[in-house]
């Protein structure tokens, strides 16, 4: 098992994190949240950002203590040494979130590409698979090359959001009351549910520590990169939420399938095509980020001895974990074939009583629930390690403590439980998550 090459500084590590968080999700989620909350949707966005920042603080402190690619597994295992299997399942769920996120984002790219190019829907799966193969090759080629391309794409996708912000503040179509709520719902409940919806636009930072073993001075660099990435995206998201309701009413946003593109096109008609084009870069960047991070997490698990050491093999020439790269990319391809190609080819759909699911949608919901469950344990790990290893050196500490107990992780966990209750009331999603966990145990080395 070889060592990876340390090539990333603070700039690349931060931009990589911003790219992981800034995805195509915001283009849709802001409309869903606005439709529920009203013009005051920015309150939900801010609230979700504060909760995400609280969990990001937990990751930052733990990354400063244990700069390992296994990240989530290492953190939970150190806090709960008698619950190693729980640590593995949590890390496996994060890994699954990565490969599933890559698969769904790749399908999103293909949808945009086919629409823009005029190709038929029959090209969606071939385009998806081609993208996954090409980005897996780049993942094997090198972390510096992957991070460099990610940085360029991050700037491009951020420019799309900044474009919407500029249109909203410079060419307002309406003057919203930023404290006006949807009259059909309770303001407090609407803010909470809106935050639960938008919270998923902030996920992605949990993968930043997987690059610890390819980052220079990771004990200090990775925590800074995590916090900076969340702060940057929170500011951008807040400005988007404030700007978009200046272009379209919240009622119109609620019924739009592409709210940001529709809102921008009110001012400048070519905006729809422009933002659709930028979405190609956003989805590509998401796929690349997830493939890189998932492969490093798999490598880290092999390094920790909880999965086959084969996944820890490093290419002597490129200094990248080539087996884990193949494994992660291969699983993403398999998910596309099983959840999109197979239903398209056979017309089969998943049905359980009243529930009707597109398989790829179920995979996406399972991945989202998996990440939130892991967040709960990571936040608890910070608290436990403050009590059991308070004297251990940390280059970053979660702010706001009572004695040795950090308060923010506990508040974040309480609200994540509320978010889960509001967002995941379909038993089939819980069953799917349990099945994914069970599948992970096949790889687990006791």
Would you give the DSSP letter of residue 8?
B
Average pLDDT in the 391-417 region?
A: 94
In whole angstroms, give the CA distance from residue 199 to residue 53. 11
Q: Does residue 345 have a pLDDT over 70?
A: no
Q: Reply yes or no on whether the pLDDT at 354 is more than 50.
A: no
SS3 305: coil
Residues 21-78 pLDDT 10s: 997 778 888 999 999 999 999 999 999 999 999 999 999 999 999 999 999 999 999 9
The strand pairing partners of 357, in sequence order, are 350
Yes or no: say if 154 and 146 are a contact pair by the CB < 8 Å rule: no
For strand 401-402 and strand 355-357, is the pairing parallel, antiparallel, or unpaired? unpaired
Over range 308-325, report the average pLDDT.
96
For residue 249, what is the DSSP state? -
Q: Cβ–Cβ contacts within 10 Å for residue 197, how many?
A: 26
- At residue 401, φ and ψ (nearest 5 deg) are -125, 150
Phi, psi (deg, nearest 5) at residue 348: -80, 140
Q: What is the DSSP string of 18-56?
A: HHHHSSTHHHHHHHHHHHHH-TTHHHHHHHHHHHHHHHH
Give the DSSP letter of residue 309. G
Tokens of 406: 């950090």
Tokens of 158: 């951020």
User: Among all chains, which residue has been given the structure tokens 């930043």?
Assistant: 208
Q: What confidence score (pLDDT) does residue 356 get?
A: 47
Q: Given pLDDT bands bounded at 50, 70 and 90, which one contains residue 355?
A: very low
Please say if the pLDDT value at position 244 is more than 70: yes
Residue 122 predicted with pLDDT over 50 = yes
Q: Which residues contact 40 (CB under 8 A, 6 or more apart)?
A: 178, 179, 180, 181, 187, 191
Name the residue among 361, 381, 283 with its Cα closest to residue 71.
381
Delineate the domains of the chain, giving CATH numbers in brackets.
Answer: 10-440 (1.20.1740.10)
Between CA 56 and CA 59 the distance in angstroms is: 5
Q: How far apart are the first and last CA of the chain?
A: 19
- The pLDDT of residue 163 is above 50: yes
**Which residues touch 102 (CB under 8 Å, ≥6 apart)?**
132, 286, 287, 290, 291, 294, 328, 329, 332
Extract the tokens encoding 155: 């700037």
Q: Can you state the angle between helices 218-244 and 10-21, rounded to 10 degrees?
A: 40
Which residue(s) pair with 355 in the sheet? 352
Q: pTM of the predicted model, to two decimals? A: 0.94
CB 105, CB 283: distance < 8 Å = yes
Judged by average pLDDT, the poorest of 127-136, 214-223, 333-342 is: 333-342
The torsion angles phi and psi of 395, rounded to 5 degrees, stand at -90, -5
81 CB contacts (<8 Å, ≥6 apart)? none
Q: What's the CA gap between 359 and 374, in Å, rounded?
A: 23
Q: Name the pLDDT band for 119 (thresholds 50, 70, 90).
A: confident
pLDDT for 121: 80
Contact 207/289 with Cβ under 8 angstroms? yes
Q: What is the structure's pLDDT at 257?
A: 84
């Amino acid at each position: 098992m070889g060592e990876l090459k340390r090539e990333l500084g603070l700039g690349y590590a931060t931009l990589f994190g911003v790219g992981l968080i800034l995805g195509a999700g915001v283009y849709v989620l802001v409309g869903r949240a606005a439709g529920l909350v009203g013009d005051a949707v920015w309150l939900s966005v801010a609230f979700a950002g504060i909760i995400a920042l609280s969990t990001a603080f937990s990751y930052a402190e733990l990354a400063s203590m244990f700069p390992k690619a296994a990240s989530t597994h290492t953190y939970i295992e150190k806090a709960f040494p008698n619950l190693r299997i729980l640590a593995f399942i949590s890390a496996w769920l994060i890994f699954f979130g990565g490969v599933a996120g890559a698969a769904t984002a790749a399908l999103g790219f293909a949808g945009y590409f086919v629409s823009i190019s005029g190709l038929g829907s029959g090209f969606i799966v071939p385009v998806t698979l081609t993208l996954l193969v090409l980005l897996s090759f780049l993942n094997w080629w090198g972390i510096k090359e992957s991070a460099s391309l990610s940085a360029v794409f991050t700037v491009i996708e951020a420019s799309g959001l900044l474009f919407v912000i500029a249109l909203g503040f410079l060419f307002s179509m309406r003057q919203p009351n930023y404290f006006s709520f949807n009259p059909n719902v309770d303001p407090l409940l609407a803010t909470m549910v809106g935050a639960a919806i938008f919270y998923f636009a902030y996920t992605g930072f949990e993968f930043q520590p997987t690059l610890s073993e390819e980052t220079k001075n990771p004990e200090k660099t990775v925590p800074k990169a995590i916090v900076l990435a969340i702060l940057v995206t929170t500011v951008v998201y807040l400005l988007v939420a404030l700007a978009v309701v200046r272009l379209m009413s919240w009622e119109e946003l609620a019924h739009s399938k592409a709210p940001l593109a529709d809102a921008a096109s009110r001012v400048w008609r070519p905006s729809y095509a422009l933002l659709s084009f930028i979405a190609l870069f956003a989805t590509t960047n998401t796929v690349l980020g997830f493939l890189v991070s998932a492969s490093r997490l798999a490598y880290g698990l092999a390094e920790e001895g909880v999965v086959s050491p084969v996944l820890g093999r490093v290419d002597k020439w490129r200094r990248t974990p080539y087996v884990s790269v193949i494994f992660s990319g291969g699983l993403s391809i398999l998910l596309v074939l099983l959840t999109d190609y197979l239903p398209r080819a056979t017309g089969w759909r998943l049905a359980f009583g009243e529930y009707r699911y597109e398989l790829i949608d179920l995979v996406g919901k399972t991945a989202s629930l998996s990440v939130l469950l892991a967040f709960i344990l990571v936040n608890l790990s910070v608290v436990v390690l403050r009590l059991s290893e308070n004297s251990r050196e940390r280059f970053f500490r979660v702010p706001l403590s009572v004695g040795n107990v950090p308060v923010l992780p506990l508040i974040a966990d309480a609200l994540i439980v509320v978010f889960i209750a509001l967002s995941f009331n379909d038993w089939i999603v819980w069953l799917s998550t349990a099945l994914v966990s069970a599948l992970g145990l096949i790889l687990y080395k006791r």
